[in-house]
Amino acid sequence: MANESTYSFEDFKNEWLIEITENNPTTVELGNRFAKKLVTQWLDIEDDNDDMIFCDGSGDGGIDVAYLKRSESENEGNKWFLVQSKYGTAFNSKSTLLIEAQKIIDTLDGQTKRLSSITNDLIERLHIFKRCSSPKDKLILVFATNSSISEDENRALNDI
């Protein structure tokens, strides 16, 4: 009987990360590449989609990527995905989750004063969305990292 090889999660993750880490990018480029690949593959969209906004960087208000998934039927609402991604050592504990969640909440509540023009435009779109929303519409906060999270970190996410 032939020996069947197994393909572990670690194997998959390492292969998936190859194009993110190739050509020795800066830590900022690593984060950008990770967020972009994650969102486009997870939500099965093109990276030039008009409903996807990349805010990552100085003045992002805690939002790296935002994507508006428009409803395809009357039975579901529109959804804004607000993504905070942490690649590598940028994520190190539940305190990272709590700090980043607070940044996003402060941004959505108008408490963050220094935002990039891209993030300001996004926040305006989100305020319009909230004012015009139906009970079916949602804002979905997504934390993404290339490492699995602990039980303690998962509890913090549930609290958020």
Q: Is 44 exposed, middle or buried (0-12, 13-18, 19+ CB in 10 A)?
A: exposed
Average pLDDT (88-103) is: 87
Report the amino acid identity of residue 82: L
Report pTM: 0.86
**CB distance 123 to 69 below 8 Å:** no
pLDDT digits (tens, 9 = 90+) for 14-33: 899 899 999 999 888 888 88
In this structure, the number of other CB atoms found within 10 A of the CB of residue 47 comes to: 11
Average pLDDT (83-93) is: 85
Reply yes or no on whether the pLDDT at 4 is more than 80. no
- Tokens describing residue 20: 């993110």
Say how far apart CA 133 and CA 122 lie, in whole Å: 16
* Residue 89 pLDDT grade (very low, low, confident, very high; cuts 50, 70, 90): confident
Average pLDDT (87-108) is: 89
* Residue 117 pLDDT grade (very low, low, confident, very high; cuts 50, 70, 90): very high
**CB distance 98 to 91 below 8 Å:** no
pLDDT digits (tens, 9 = 90+) for 136-155: 999 999 998 888 888 999 99
Report the amino acid identity of residue 133: S
- Listed by start position, the domains of the chain span 9-159
